Amino acid sequence: MIIAVAAVAILFNTFFAKKLPLIEGTILIIHVFGFFGILIPLWALAPRQPAKAVFTEVTNAYSLPSQGVACLVGIIGPMYSLIGPDSAVHMAEEIKDASRVLPLGMMWTLILNGVTGFVMVITFAFCIGDLESAISPHYSYA
């Protein structure tokens, strides 16, 4: 899989670099439709937890030494969404009016992804159902 991804990246950057804006626009459209394609069925069809359970109950399902350690382990995944703007800094010399455009792009990226991520996290928290059955492995080979 890694070799396939690297090969696609090499081929794209070698032969199709001028198509990058088209690909980025397409990915944006897929991202927006995917967001609503996941969110709307969850809102309409998923069982819901009461708000008290979502906002007041904390579960340390893996018996970590403390709630602090459990929190830090759980924050690793979401943390990566905040380091993405760093990649834009490395391309700053290729951007016209980079001192204005780059900070605006970085801030709007964080704001939009933060808002949509927050909506998705709250939706998942309300729709997860029984936590024990959600984290237990299900092996069904029918």
Question: Quick one: pLDDT band at residue 139, thresholds 50, 70, 90?
Answer: low
Does 97 have pLDDT greater than 80? Answer: yes
Average pLDDT rounded to a whole number, residues 55-83? 80
pLDDT at 30: 95
Answer whether 51's CB lies under 8 Å from 127's CB: no
Does 13 have pLDDT greater than 70? Answer: yes
Question: Quick one: pLDDT band at residue 26, thresholds 50, 70, 90?
Answer: very high
Q: Which of 40-44, 77-81, 92-96, 99-103 has the lowest mean pLDDT?
A: 77-81
- What the block records as the tokens of 124 is 């998942």
Question: Quick one: pLDDT band at residue 70, thresholds 50, 70, 90?
Answer: confident
pLDDT at 126: 92
Does 43 have pLDDT greater than 90? Answer: yes
Q: Average model confidence (pLDDT) for the chain?
A: 85
Answer whether 45's CB lies under 8 Å from 73's CB: no
pLDDT at 32: 92
Q: Which residue has the higher pLDDT, 132 or 110?
A: 110
